[in-house]
Amino acid sequence: MKPLVTLTGDGTFRAPSAEEVLRLDLPDDPHLAALLRIRALLGDDLEEQIATRLYLPSALGLDDTDHLLPATLALLADTTGDLVSYGWRLGTGTGRAWQHARELRERMLDAARIALLGYEGPLMTSALGPATLAGATFLQSGERTLGDPGAVRDLPMLLAEGLVEHLGVMAERVPGARQHVLLREDAVAAVHEGRIPTPSGRRRYNPVPAPEIGVLWRILMVALEDYGLGPDSVTVGVGADLSLLRAAREAGIRRMAIAPRRLPPLSTDAGRALWEGIAEACDDGAVLEIVVDPRPGGNLGPELEMMLETWRRLGHSDADAAGVAVIAHTGASHDLHSGRVDPSAQPHTSTLLDEPALEALLRVAPSWAERLAA
């Protein structure tokens, strides 16, 4: 039976504290400890109609190189760089921070062999998408990658090659896993709307049209399809813009991650058009993956209720939303989306998911599934 709802995380998981390691009798290796806890939480479906999607955390927040941006950069094929005073720079030569990010990824893959021994089920890898990478990184000149169209065009292929290599290693370490990829485009709205500042801070980079962003996504999708991952095994964050939604559909993206709190209300013209675009995409076979903050005060209940209320006002029933996936997230990317935080900025460990957040998501799942079954 097809699950009514699938639960997963955003690709991050704060490393267990020393107190948690002692209380839960976890190994001292933080990568192994984190994976064991994620498996304990998401390694088995809750019940027949509530599925879970286990994920390999890309960031534990152990140091400045243990976040999603450097973890993604460590994936780029044949690419070097380093962490400098103004951010992560692509260029000749591999600096210490860049090398350390690669080592952290390798340690997580090593931990997967032990923590996920005998595991059979979905296993997700998370990375930042090419539009966000373009806005979050710099070139040797000090200019953002976004300012060099040639460098931007190279990003999706470099990322695809690195992802394919990573997935191949993961298939060896966890042979029973069904691979899934989450591409987080946290800054796609800022790139598309021209809100990324130049190094001087006195102006903004030109907006990148949605069709051009769609081309970047299509390059990635084709490369992953060639590896063997079809559209049902790749989730892409597509922002909250109708033109980006259309670009995603034209790029062959079937699973679209959308944060309800970013969507304009149905009462506005823009909101009506976007919501109708979402409904049309779902009618054509697209699958929504809803990004929510399940922590206390994160407004999980109101966000999901708002989704269903809007769905009903568009003429659908609650049951029409069955099959949705819910991605736990701390809400940190909302600040990137709105432009309050520069995508190149070093994130705080508070932006990472932790065990209580995933537990909160698991607690609300039965009532959510009951609504979808009605």
- CATH number, domain at 69? 3.20.20
Domain coverage including residue 314: 5-373
**Total-model pTM:** 0.96
Share of the chain above pLDDT 70, in %: 98
Q: What is the dihedral of CA 302, 274, 290, 169, to 10 degrees?
A: -160
| Between 9 and 366, residue with greater pLDDT | 9
Tokens of 5: 């709802």
Q: Give the confidence band of 225 by pLDDT, cuts at 50, 70, 90.
A: very high
Segment holding 337, helix H or strand E: helix 332-338
HSE, CB side, 13 Å, CA atoms: give it for residue 282.
19
Contact 94, 120 (CB under 8 A): no
Residues 6+ apart with CB under 8 A from 288: 256, 258, 278, 282, 321, 324, 325
- How confident is the model over 28-54, as pLDDT tens digits? 999 999 999 999 999 988 888 899 999
Among left, alpha and beta (phi > 0; psi -120 to 50; other), residue 252 is: left
Residues 6+ apart with CB under 8 A from 101: 65, 66, 70, 71, 73, 74
- Whole-number Å distance between alpha carbons of 160 and 281: 25
Q: Give the confidence band of 298 by pLDDT, cuts at 50, 70, 90.
A: low
Segment holding 127, helix H or strand E: strand 121-128
Q: How many domains does the chain have?
A: 1
pLDDT at position 299 is: 63
Give the count of beta carbons closer than 10 Å to the beta carbon of residue 368. 24
Q: What is the mean pLDDT of residues 138-162?
A: 96
Share of the chain above pLDDT 90, in %: 74
Q: Give the confidence band of 297 by pLDDT, cuts at 50, 70, 90.
A: low
- Whole-number Å distance between alpha carbons of 225 and 64: 33
Burial class (CB in 10 A: 0-12, 13-18, 19+), 261: middle
pLDDT at position 92 is: 78
pLDDT at position 98 is: 95
Among 193-202, 281-290, 318-327, where is mean pLDDT lowest? 318-327
Contact 58, 34 (CB under 8 A): no
Q: Give the confidence band of 335 by pLDDT, cuts at 50, 70, 90.
A: confident
